[in-house]
Structure 1
Amino acid sequence: MAEGLAGNSWAHDIQGVLGLHEIGQYLMIWQTVNRTILSNEPDQLLWRWTANGIYSAQSCYAATFHGSTRCTSWKLIWKSWAPSRVKFFHWLANQDCCWMAERLARCGLQHHPRCLLCDQATETLQHLLLTCPFARQTWYAILAWLRMPTRPPDQEPTVMARWLRANKHTPMTRRKALRSIALLVPWMIWKHKNECVFDNETPSIDLLVDRIKDEARCWANAGAQGLGVVLPLPGMC
């Protein structure tokens, strides 16, 4: 290194035609080299991700997240009790990667001009899961069945925003159940919509609500303890 710094001889090894990108890198290196002061002390390796310059596995792991963005919905999706396929669906929905009519239209693919469940508006993910009259009636029926002290969706932009709002008005003893319901209801609405598309099934709120109730009981039996607390006793509506 000392030989390369002497008289800036390191620059003599640069060959070939330089573009704007290469010239920019050259200037950055030049500025860094000019600030370098050599001494007779032996070289040391310093780890930039710790205050003392010493490497640690913990700091290396933290460095892998440098510059990353935080997903605010991770707790609802990955920390709630739900089957893996349901969590994966919500992860895709959070990334706006579900194939809705709006997205199909952007890609020039065949799609229905309006929501199949209400026939009133363009089918977007937010409309289908939250603001569609069909979806709102479904939410109302399930929340009433579970005696959850929260209102149906009301113009929230995402399922995550809906959950955060409802979570504030839900007692601690029922919040686990709320998290599972926040995943279950959109999943079942999504499935019902696909059945209408691919199996020519007729949209039915009563049918969907019954299916959600059956699925909620299955989740509770499979380990969703929060749902087990709020489910009505057998024989009750």
Structure 2
Amino acid sequence: MTVPDTGTPWLRRFHARPGARLTVVLFPHAGGTANFYREWATGLPEGFASVVVQYPGRETRFGEPLAARLEDLAAGAAAALEGHLTGPYALLGHSMGSLVAYEAARRLAGGPLGPPVRLFASARRAPGREGPASGVHLLDDDGLVAVIEKLGGTPPGLLDDLDLRSLVLPSVRGDYRLVDAYRPAAPEPLDVPITALAGADDPSVPPAEVDRWGDLTTRGHVLEVLPGGHFFPVRHRAEVLRVLVRDLAGAV
């Protein structure tokens, strides 16, 4: 099976896999774009296709307003997937993308697609375990850039360019605002197995906290700790893909 040409701004596909039997749906981090996952498409083995969620307000959707709620991102992505996806699928989100993927899974489970075969949650505390709001979206531009650089989201000095800041920071600030506002009182466990992925040296969320995703599944979970900080998938993409393929082996 495969994902047809989407015809929707919510989904991007970088590499066609007409014979694929399972599709991995990828959700970017706060301020992230579909291009974060561009190289993942060719890193997956035969039998796997990928499609990437593109949030409004960036790249191909730059002229659109940012989402008002994190749940709006999940609802938009879920509706697009229901219109364009067939066959088995898995969801993988990095950082904020883990929360959006979880909310999308909740919506998709009761629809025509049914639940994903697995959820991969990377570098994020589970819903209901977030703790106090960070207030990062309230920082001035220099403070916001300092947070991004500390997490490894951009190379040091890249966002010294004011024109680039004007393109990047609005979506980063908007997404941090969404995460701070997202505080579900009683998150629902999914009837979906979960793989929790953590960076061994992540300064924002330690592996023990990422492991709490196990509280949100009735089907069991595993924790995989990989080398690196918050953006460990950048340098260790091959290891992430290895875990993904391993944990989806029985679904294709």
Q: Does the TM-score normalized on the shorter chain lie above 0.5?
A: no
Higher share of residues assigned strand? 2
TM-score by length of 1: 0.24
Higher share of residues assigned helix? 1
